Amino acid sequence: MLLNFYKYQGTGNDFVIIDNRNQVFPKDNNGLVSFLCDRKFGIGADGLILLEDDDVADFKMVYYNSDGNQSSMCGNGGRCIVAFAKHLGLVVSDASFEAVDGHHKARIEADVVSLQMQEVTDINEKSNSLFLNTGSPHHVQLVTDLKDFDVRKEGERLRYGVYGQEGSNINFVENIDENSFLVRTYERGVEDETLSCGTGVTAVALAMHHSGQANSNTIKITTPGGLLEVRFTKNKNKEGYNEIWLTGAAQLVFKGEIYVEA
Ligand SMILES: N[C@H](CCC[C@H](N)C(=O)O)C(=O)O
């Protein structure tokens, strides 16, 4: 079977994206997904995304980690699929889509995509970290000298040692300036550091505000893959946040076709 694909990246988190409105992609073939994401034998990506028709929204997003398994919400992938939908002519400047964690709105201007994330109501404070779910589960921990920190080693230890087989994404944070942070993320399902993680930087922004490390409702996050901005509103009469928007660049890198065994 000849498969047409598009390669997108959102602040260095990269994805194979396939227009699957004709439903020809073998969605249960996890081996095929991990092959397509393999950086030596396949196309190479942190994840694979299918764009499909939806009865109500402009489209539906199906997300797989590079390990081949469908997973929870991908914020950077959500920004990239909006850029892809614009490329296909499905949307112009405003978009809505269904994802594994529910309905999302988005806005695109040039190559900058703002994606509305789900409301966050539970933030679990531990001795030296916080845990919250922004569409995917995230551990958030302040460290010093982040640029020299062993993210892969420490991330793997926490992902399996503390969070077990279900796992969590692990975010290490260093305060740069008021309401500005450096973040490096170990991603579950990639099982390595990625250049950025959208649901991860969203979790970091909310965790820093919740714990008093930040006092603005607009937080700038620098990642190895580029700059992301998170805006939010604190819930009035309950814990947590809503009107959460993740903003950053999302670009088409190349498109191609690959022959795969059906
Ligand atoms: N690895 C995550 C999903 C992708 C998250 C990340 N790529 C993002 O941009 O949010 C998980 O399995 O929980």
Each residue's pLDDT, cut to its tens digit, for the chain (262 residues) gives 999 999 999 999 999 999 999 999 999 999 999 999 999 999 999 999 999 999 999 999 999 999 999 999 999 999 999 999 999 999 999 999 999 999 999 999 999 999 999 999 999 999 999 999 999 999 999 999 999 999 999 999 999 999 988 999 999 999 999 999 999 999 999 999 999 999 999 999 999 999 999 999 999 999 999 999 999 999 998 899 999 999 999 999 999 999 998 7
Residue 86, CA distances (Å) to 60, 68, 92, 112 in order:
14, 26, 6, 12
The pLDDT value recorded for residue 10 is 98
Which one of the listed residues 197, 214, 246, 250 is annotated catalytic? 197
Residues 174 and 139 in one domain: yes
Same domain assignment for residues 234 and 147? yes
What domain count does the chain have?
2
Here the CATH number for the domain that contains residue 54 is 3.10.310.10
Judge if 154 and 231 occupy the same domain: yes
Residue 198 counted as an annotated binding residue = yes
How far apart are alpha carbons 196 and 72 in whole angstroms? 16
Same domain, 162 and 56: no
pLDDT at 261: 84
CA–CA gap between residue 95 and residue 29 (Å, rounded): 29
d(CA 87, CA 200): 26
Q: What is the DSSP letter of 162?
A: T
Nearest to 25 by CA among 54, 57, 52: 52
pTM of the predicted protein model: 0.98
Kindly state whether residues 129 and 236 are assigned to the same domain.
Answer: yes
Identify the domain containing residue 222 by its residue range.
123-248
Do residues 107 and 148 both lie within one domain?
no
Q: Are residues 58 and 25 in the same domain?
A: yes
Residues 244 and 127 in one domain: yes
The DSSP letter of residue 262 is -
100 and 158 assigned to the same domain: no
User: What element of type H or E holds 159?
Assistant: helix 151-161
Distance 158 CA to ligand 1 centre (A): 16
The reply to whether 41 and 140 lie within a common domain is no
Q: Is 189 in the pocket of ligand 1 (CB under 6 A)?
A: yes
What is the pLDDT at residue 62?
A: 98
| Same domain membership, residue 242 and residue 127 | yes
Burial readout 199-230 (b: 16 or more C-beta within 10 A, e: otherwise):
bbbbbbbbbbbbeebbeebebbbbbbbbebbb
Active site residue 74: yes
In this structure, are 133 and 144 located in the same domain? Answer: yes
d(CA 54, CA 106): 16
